[in-house]
Amino acid sequence: MKALITGASSGIGKAMKEELERRGWEVVDFSRSNGLDVRRLEDWEKVVELGRFDLMVLNAGVADWEEEPGKNDREMLETNVLGVYYGLEFAERLLKGGSVIGVTGSVAGILPQSDIALYRATKAAVRMLALAYAKKYVRKYRVVCVHPGYVKDTKLGGGSDNAFVKEVETWLPAKKVASPQEMANWILWLLLECRYLYGEVVLSGGEDLVW
């Protein structure tokens, strides 16, 4: 079995890559650290040459807790939105029939809050892209957009800071911030085992219900 994962050099993407490889999958890491950039159409063309995949996870994303006009905003927009759009558009050239497409959204793209407004807007766009293509491809591929909440070891919200994690766990209904490995395993179960799931699902530990 063969998978393509964008942003597989760190966080949830890296954890998914490692878990799939543990299961015997061949995994292509579509990330800048591997010389590929989801913002460049020519790099998507390069990946087409690698043959057909059984699974594609559009996971690459950029976040900036200290959003400021002119600083990281274009990179965030292009990576988070165009990177997903290009992947969904290239799906028919990349995937075998009956394959699965996973899209990493965020609970931030569902909850309208005043902080990290641009990041929230990009993830709201990701959600709509995933749902639009889920409908377009419904008889070819199963498209699932997963919206994680806080995850340890991510930059957004200081997720790698122990004090921050403990503070979140005081009000998070699940009383636990997930690790990248835990989130990766849940996402892979939804993509590979939960065959009745189409569209989207929230994995926030209840965050979206208490904000």
Q: Look at residue 99 and tell me if it is in a domain.
A: yes
Q: How far apart are CA 118 and CA 101, in angstroms?
A: 25
Check whether 74 has a pLDDT greater than 60: yes
Q: Look at residue 167 and tell me if it is in a domain.
A: no
CATH of the domain at 200: 3.40.50.720
> Which H or E run contains 52?
none
The pLDDT of residue 162 is: 81
Range of lowest pLDDT (9-13, 86-90, 140-144):
9-13
Check whether 7 has a pLDDT greater than 90: yes
Q: Look at residue 157 and tell me if it is in a domain.
A: no
Is the separation of the CB atoms in 32 and 52 below 8 Å?
A: no
Q: What does the pLDDT average to over 100-127?
A: 94
The pLDDT of residue 5 is: 98
Average predicted confidence (pLDDT) for the chain: 93
Q: How much of the chain is helix, strand and coil, in % rounded to 5?
A: 45, 20, 35
Q: Which residues contact 22 (CB under 8 A, 6 or more apart)?
A: none
The pLDDT of residue 63 is: 86
Q: How many CB atoms lie within 10 A of CB 65?
A: 12
Q: Look at residue 88 and tell me if it is in a domain.
A: yes
Which one-letter DSSP state was computed for residue 31? S
Q: Which residues contact 184 (CB under 8 A, 6 or more apart)?
A: 12, 15, 16, 18, 19
pLDDT band at 148 (very low <50, low <70, confident <90, very high): very high
Residues 159-209 pLDDT 10s = 557 888 889 999 999 999 999 999 999 999 999 999 999 999 999 999 999
Which residues is 204 bridged to in the sheet? Answer: none
Number of domains in the chain: 1
Q: Look at residue 173 and tell me if it is in a domain.
A: no
Using a pLDDT cut of 70, give the percent of the chain over it. 97
Q: Look at residue 156 and tell me if it is in a domain.
A: no
Q: Look at residue 32 and tell me if it is in a domain.
A: yes
Per DSSP, helices labelled H in the chain are 11-22, 41-48, 73-77, 83-94, 117-136, 162-171, 180-192, 207-210
Model confidence, pTM: 0.93
Domain extent, residue 192, equals 2-150+179-210
Give the torsion sign (CA, 83, 86, 89, 95).
negative
Q: Look at residue 170 and tell me if it is in a domain.
A: no
Check whether 99 has a pLDDT greater than 60: yes
